Amino acid sequence: MDVEKLVPETGNLNGFIEQFQVFSSAPGGIDNLRELLFSLAIKGHIEINKPNAISVDINSFFDKKALLIKNKKLKKSKTLPEISLTEVAGAIADNWEINRLGNVSMLITKGSTPTTYGYQYQNEGINFIKVENVINGDIDLTSITTFISDEAHFSQARSILEEGDVLFSIAGTIGDTCVVRSEHLPANTNQALAIIRGTSDVFLPKFLKLQLDSFVSKQISDKARGGAMNNVSLGDLSELIVFVPPLEEQKRIVAKVDELMSLCDKLEAQQQQQANNVLRANTAAINALLNPESQQTAKSQKNSATVSGSESKASFEQNWQRIAQHFNTLYGCTFPMPKGEGRKKKYLVGLENVKGLREVILQMAVMGKVVPQDVNDETASNLLEKVSADKQKLVKSGEIKKVKLLPLIRNDEKPFVLPTGWKWCRVWDVAKLITSGSRGWAKYYSNKGAIFVTMGNLSKDNYKLRLDTIKYVSVPDTGEGLRTKLEENDLLISITGDVGNLGLIPKDFGEAYINQHTCLLRFMPLCQSRYFAEVMRSPCATHQFNAPQRGIKNSFRLGDVGEMLIPVPPLEEQKRIVAKVDELMILCDQLEQQLTQSYSDAEKLMQATVKALVA
């Protein structure tokens, strides 16, 4: 994307609006557009200024306020600091004023809790407005569940709401705003909402709300203090810098912002619909691909026939072709995550779908779908017989202990039909050792020595060790130091907390050990192909990790690991599968890079646009 060609000329709002839909794909998308529009609006960049428009007579307002103070109808507020040049970026029109909110309002106050004064909440009565009742810039009367009596209402006179009051949340969720209208009254509020009153001579209530919603409100959130609940003080709010254009211009600005906000709403709705459609399509395509038998089940239920291998293969090929035909739609585009779908900044449907594509590739691999079978390959049955013979020799020599008899594999346990030459087995059938570390490693901690691998070094959906932080131990050469010493190709599995995180010990890793939260799975020499590591991170294994978790804290016994079901292909096919998975994962990496770059370009575009428009 050529960012420079899309950036509008300095101050050219029309050019910006022409690229509105392009900008909506930038980081934060619609939310950033709204904030940018607010920022432009309050500085006069969104509506043509008319120099002959009558300025707000701010001195007359000050005289009126002073008279009320003199007559003791209004308390004198503290003197606010002068506005310095460093606090205001950019020039404003000559017929605009600039001041602090506390100076251009008659009153900034907040409510209190009725129960503090002995009053009880009721199921009906006077509306008692809380932060959670301010929804999408308005008071949602249907959400109000707390009411107070007339007596409680009038006892809290300072927070009796009036038409035209502007509310601003100052505790918990900072910056929710609304304008009080006649249909909201009578009403009162608590200390989490600030009440800004008496600004009608200076502001249209909607224009003041617009300012509070703008980048200017960042002055407030920057001052938000930590603790169990973020909050800002009324003093912070009073010091907020506000811009005061002529009232007629305020009307035009509010109308223009409403128009552009409506466009933002439409764009957001379109994005939400597109995102939902892509997510549903991707989910359906993946489910059909990974469960081809399910599509045939309904057809075969009448005669109780099972799905044949040829029917399954034909269904799989058909579903794969469907994904291939719509690949760009499913994986080559980005949308903000739909609301309610764990939406976060920089969290996009396209990138999330690539994650799903990785899972598809792994599941296809363990189903025997990524490479063709070769009738000349030695079968998995022969391989498993050799492994069994090797294990018997190790048991006889005393190198390993004899494993208890494993349960037979039932047909209803098998999640899919295996290709010819493959065979189902349990992990213990191909494992030399399944163990875990023990407690008491703290006494061996050291600043140097052997690496101590913990659950924090394991990865989710992968088996690459995360070595940003490494602990070390110095242990004796006996006991635990022998039993849990790691070797090349050992697969580590988290068995408490977030069960199923993995780590594969690479060549020349050095001396290393584990603790009791990690399972050490050491495969037999004939089964130390990386294929088995791919199996253990595939959806086939993930389903088993997630199924039998027990207790308050998720846990997975060593016996559970040993009884896990895994599909075993011929040895030569294992090598071809690993090579093909590596190839396909590289394509996924490239796809993610393209999507990330596209996202980065959109971010640069938004930043450049903001710079051009507010210059």
Range from 202-216, 272-286, 540-554 that averages highest in pLDDT: 202-216
pLDDT over 50 (residue 186): yes
Q: Per-residue pLDDT for 160 more than 90?
A: yes
Evaluate if residue 308 carries a pLDDT over 70: no
Q: How does residue 1 score in pLDDT terms, banded at 50, 70 and 90?
A: very low
Is residue 171 over pLDDT 90?
Answer: no
pLDDT at 503: 95
Mean pLDDT, all residues of the chain: 79
Q: What is the pLDDT of residue 98?
A: 86
Distant-in-sequence, close-in-space partners of 524: CB < 8 Å, separation ≥ 6: 387, 390, 391, 430, 431, 432
Stretch among 204-208, 213-217, 309-313, 536-540 having the lowest mean pLDDT: 309-313
Across 13-27, 302-316, 361-375, 436-450, the highest mean pLDDT is recorded for 361-375
Residue 533 has pLDDT above 80, yes or no: yes
The whole-angstrom separation of Cα 285 and Cα 613 is 43
State residue 602 phi and psi, 5-degree precision: -65, -35
Assigned fold of 57-245: Adenine-n6-DNA-methyltransferase TaqI; Chain A, domain 2 (3.90.220)
CB of 210 within 8 A of CB of 38?
yes
| Residue 373 C-beta-side C-alpha neighbours within 13 Å | 17
Q: Does this chain's domain 57-245 share its CATH topology with 380-569?
A: yes
**Per-residue pLDDT reduced to its tens digit, 538-561:** 989 998 988 755 544 567 888 899
Q: Is the pTM of this model over 0.85?
A: no
Cβ neighbour number for residue 576 with a 10 Å cutoff: 18
Using one digit for the tens of pLDDT, what is the confidence trace for 61-75? 999 999 999 998 888
Residue 299: per-residue pLDDT? 45
Tell me: pLDDT of 54 over 70. yes
| Domain ranges across the chain | 1-54+247-377+571-615, 57-245, 380-569
Res 187 pLDDT > 70: yes
pLDDT band at 532 (very low <50, low <70, confident <90, very high): very high
| Strands across the sheet containing 107-110 | 107-110, 193-197, 166-169, 177-179
| CB-based contact 94:253 (threshold 8 Å) | no
Contacts of residue 264, defined as CB under 8 A and 6 or more positions apart, other chains included, come to: 24, 30, 33, 34, 37
Q: C-alpha 442: how far from its chain's center?
A: 35
Instruction: Determine the pLDDT at residue 241.
Output: 86
Rg of the chain taking only CA atoms, in angstroms: 33
State mean pLDDT over 123-149: 92
Residue 292: which of 364, 397, 389 has the closest Cα? 364
User: Which residue has better confidence, 481 or 202?
Assistant: 202
Half-sphere exposure of 209 (CA within 13 A, CB side): 20
Cis peptide before 476 (omega within 30 of 0): no
Question: Higher model confidence: residue 298 or residue 153?
Answer: 153
Q: Count Cβ atoms within 10 A of the Cβ of residue 85 and give its class: 0-12 exposed, 13-18 middle, 19 or more buried.
A: exposed
346 pLDDT exceeds 80? no
Residue 424 clears pLDDT 60, i.e. is over it: yes
| Per-residue model confidence (pLDDT) at position 216 | 43
Weakest mean pLDDT among 110-124, 344-358, 371-385, 496-510? 344-358
User: Which residue type occupies 334?
Assistant: T
- pLDDT cut 70: percent of the chain above it: 74
Least confident of 252-266, 304-318, 348-362, 543-557: 304-318
Identify the band that residue 5 occupies on the pLDDT scale cut at 50, 70 and 90: very low
Residue 342, pLDDT > 50, answer no
Contacts of 328 (CB under 8 A, 6+ apart): none
User: Tell me, which fold does domain 380-569 have in CATH?
Assistant: Adenine-n6-DNA-methyltransferase TaqI; Chain A, domain 2 (3.90.220)
On the 0-12 / 13-18 / 19+ scale of CB atoms within 10 A, 513 is: buried
Whether the CB-CB separation of 18 and 10 falls below 8 Å is answered with no
Please write the tens of the pLDDT for every residue from 360-404: 889 889 999 888 899 999 999 999 999 999 999 999 999 988 888
Residue 328, CA distances (Å) to 235, 282, 323, 353 in order: 53, 11, 9, 11
Question: Is there a contact between 452 and 513 (Cβ–Cβ < 8 Å)?
Answer: yes
pLDDT of 475 higher than 60? yes
Q: Please name which of 556, 552, 472, 461 lies closest in space to residue 513, comparing C-alpha atoms.
A: 472
Q: What is the pLDDT of residue 89?
A: 64
The DSSP secondary structure of 411-472, one letter per residue, reads: GGG--SPPPTT-EEEEHHHHEEEEEE--S-GGGGEESSSEEEE-GGG-BSSS-----SS-EE
For the stretch 75-101, pLDDT in tens is 888 888 888 777 776 667 778 888 899
pLDDT at 345 over 60: no
Residues 323-330, mean pLDDT to the nearest whole number = 63
Q: What DSSP element (H or E) covers 513?
A: strand 512-514
Separation between Cα atoms, residue 516 and residue 120, nearest integer Å: 54
Q: What pLDDT score does 361 carry? A: 86
| pLDDT confidence tier of residue 148, bands split at 50, 70 and 90 | very high
pLDDT of 283 higher than 80: no
The Cβ-side half-sphere exposure at 434, using a 13 Å CA radius, reads 21
Report the pLDDT value the prediction gives residue 479, as an integer from 0 to 100: 62
Confidence bin at 530 (pLDDT 50/70/90): very high
pLDDT at position 593? 78
Q: Which of 244-248, 568-572, 602-606 has the lowest mean pLDDT?
A: 602-606
Q: Which residue has the higher pLDDT, 538 or 352?
A: 538
Task: Give mean pLDDT, residues 263-270.
Answer: 78
Instruction: Name the residue type at position 547.
Output: A
Q: Which position has the higher pLDDT, 17 or 477? A: 477
Looking at 247-256, 446-455, 596-605, which range is the least confident one?
Answer: 596-605
Q: What is the pLDDT of residue 553?
A: 54
Q: Round to whole Å and give the CA distance between 483 and 450.
A: 14
